[in-house]
Amino acid sequence: MNSSLSHKSATATETTGSPSTGMNLNPSRFKTAPLTLWTDRMMNRTIKGGGLAVILTVLAIFVFIFMQSLPLFGRAKIHPRNTIQLDPSIQPLLIGADEWGELPYVLESQGLIHFISSADGKTVSQDDLSKLLEAKISSVFRHRRPGNQTFYTGTEDGRFAAVDLKYIPVFTKDSREIHRELNPGELYALSDKPYPVRLIAGAGTGDQKLIAAILAAPEGNRFVVTRLIRTVALFGPGEESMEEIHDLTGEIEGKIQKILVNGAGDEFVVLNEEGKIFYFVYTDEAPILRQIFTPFKDTQDHQVVSMDYLNGDVTLVLTNASGVNKLYSLFVAEGQPLRMYYYTKTLPPLDGGAEFYAPSLRNKAFLIGHGSSFSLRYGTTATIRAKGRLDSQIKSAILGAKYDRIFLLDSENRLHLYDLTDPHPEAGWQAFMGKVWYEGYSKPDYIWQSTGGTDDFEPKLSFVPLILGTLKGTLYAMMFALPLSLLAALYTSQFARPSFKRTIKPVMEIMASLPSVVLGFLAALWLAPLIEDKVPSFLMAVTLIPLFVLIFGQVYSRLPASVRMHVKPGYEWLLVLPIIAAGIWISWNLGPAIEKIFCTVYDSETNLRSADFRLWWATVTGMPFEQRNSLVVGFMMGFAVIPIIFTIAEDALSNVPKSLTSASLALGASRWQTAIRVVIPTAFPGIFSALMVGLGRAIGETMIVVMATGNTPVMDFNIFSGMRTLSANIAVELPEAPYLGTLYRALFLGATILFMMTFVLNTIAEVIRQKLRTKYRVL
* pLDDT for the residue 394: 93
Q: Domain extents for the chain?
A: 464-533+612-740+755-778
280 pLDDT band (50/70/90 cuts)?
Answer: very high
**Amino acid in position 267:** E
Q: What is the per-residue pLDDT for 777?
A: 64
Look at 8-17, 242-251, 351-360, 770-779 and tell me which has the smallest mean pLDDT.
8-17
Task: Say whether 702 sits in a helix, a strand or coil.
Answer: coil
Q: Which residues of 524-546 are buried (b: 16+ CB within 10 A; e: fewer)?
A: beebbeebbebbbbbbbbeebbe
| Phi, then psi, of 483 in degrees rounded to 5 | -60, -45
Indicate the burial class of 643 (C-beta count within 10 angstroms; 0-12, 13-18, 19 or more): buried
Residues 745, 653: contact at Cβ < 8 Å?
no
Residue 599: count of CB within 10 angstroms of its CB: 21
Name the residue among 708, 695, 702 with its Cα closest to residue 750.
Answer: 702
Q: What's the rounded mean pLDDT across residues 416-434?
A: 92
Which residues, at least 6 apart from 587, have a Cβ–Cβ distance to it below 8 Å? 537, 538, 540, 541, 543, 544, 545
Identify the helix (H) or strand (E) that includes residue 352. none
- Percentage of the chain modeled with pLDDT above 90: 35
454-458, 461-465, 507-511, 729-733: which range is least confident on average? Answer: 454-458
Query: For 203-241, b where at least 16 C-beta lie within 10 A, e where not — what string?
Result: bbeeebbbbbbbbeeeeeebbbbbbbbbeeeeeeeeebe
* Distance from the first to the final alpha carbon of the chain: 62
pLDDT of residue 5: 43
Q: Which of 386, 383, 354 is nearest to 371 (CA)?
A: 354
Distance CA 493, CA 498 (A): 9
Report the percentage of the chain scoring pLDDT > 70. Answer: 94
**Which pLDDT score, from 0 to 100, does residue 515 have?**
86
- Give the number of other CB atoms < 10 A from CB of residue 497: 13
User: Mean pLDDT throughout 491-503?
Assistant: 85
Residue closest to 350 by CA, chosen among 364, 366, 368: 368
Q: Say what the pTM is.
A: 0.84
How far is 62 from 51, CA to CA, in rounded Å? Answer: 17
**pLDDT tens digits, residue range 75-115?**
999 999 999 998 888 888 888 898 888 889 998 888 888 99
Indicate if the pLDDT at residue 13 is higher than 60. Answer: no
Residue 17 scores a pLDDT above 60? no
Q: Which of 530, 580, 527, 531 is nearest to 553 (CA)?
A: 580
Q: Has residue 9 got a pLDDT over 60?
A: no
CA distance 164 to 162: 6
> Between β-strands 373-378 and 365-370, what pairing exists: parallel, antiparallel or unpaired?
antiparallel
Residues 6+ apart with CB under 8 A from 87: 114, 123, 413
Given this model, what pLDDT does residue 779 score?
52
CATH of the structural domain 464-533+612-740+755-778, one choice from 1.10.3720.10, 3.90.1170.30, 2.130.10.10, 1.10.760.10 = 1.10.3720.10
DSSP H or E run through 490: helix 464-494
Angle at the Cα of 33 (from 29 to 37), degrees rounded to 5? 140
Residue 656 burial class via C-beta count within 10 angstroms: exposed 0-12, middle 13-18, buried 19 and up = buried
Task: Name the pLDDT band for 7 (thresholds 50, 70, 90).
Answer: very low
pLDDT, average across residues 470-488 = 90
Distance in angstroms (rounded) separating the CA atoms of residues 473 and 706: 11
Indicate if the alpha-carbon torsion angle 49, 52, 57, 63 is positive or negative.
Answer: negative
Stretch among 226-240, 336-350, 420-434 having the lowest mean pLDDT:
226-240
Taking the C-alpha atoms of residue 212 and residue 269, their distance in angstroms, rounded to an integer, is: 10
Band (pLDDT 50/70/90 cuts) for residue 269 is very high
pLDDT value at 233 more than 80? no
Closest by CA to 702, choosing from 672, 744, 734, 674, is 734
The reported pLDDT for the residue numbered 234 is: 66
Query: What does the pLDDT look like over 581-630, one tens digit per residue?
Result: 998 999 988 888 888 888 888 877 777 788 888 888 888 888 888 888 88
pLDDT at residue 11 greater than cutoff 50: no
In three-state form (DSSP H/G/I as H, E/B as E, the rest C), the secondary structure along 10-52 is HHHHHHHCCCCCCCCCCHHHHCCCHHHHHHHHHHHHHHHHHHH
- In 3D, which of 295, 736, 708, 329 has the Cα closest to residue 521? 708
DSSP one-letter code for 738:
P
- Give the per-residue pLDDT at 778: 56
3-state secondary structure (DSSP) of residue 742: helix
Q: How far apart are CA 517 and CA 757, in angstroms?
A: 24
Q: What is the mean pLDDT of residues 683-709?
A: 87
pLDDT for the residue numbered 332? 92
Q: Say whether pLDDT at 762 is over 90.
A: no
Burial class (CB in 10 A: 0-12, 13-18, 19+), 580: middle
Q: Which residues contact 10 (CB under 8 A, 6 or more apart)?
A: none
Q: Which ranges in 239-336 belong to alpha helices (H)?
A: none
- Contact present, 447 and 607 (Cβ < 8 Å): no
Of the ranges 421-430, 559-568, 571-580, which is most confident? 421-430
Please choose, from the candidates 133, 130, 92, the residue with its C-alpha nearest in 3D space to the C-alpha of residue 109.
92
Question: For residue 323, what pLDDT is reported?
Answer: 92
For the cut 50, the answer to whether the pLDDT of residue 6 exceeds it is no
For 598-638, give the DSSP string: H-EEEETTTTEEEE-HHHHHHHHHS----SS-HHHHHHHHH
State the pLDDT at residue 615. Answer: 87
Q: Which residues contact 186 (CB under 8 A, 6 or more apart)?
A: 161, 240
Nearest to 302 by CA among 278, 272, 258: 272
Over residues 47-74, the pLDDT tens digits come to 989 989 998 998 999 999 999 999 999 9
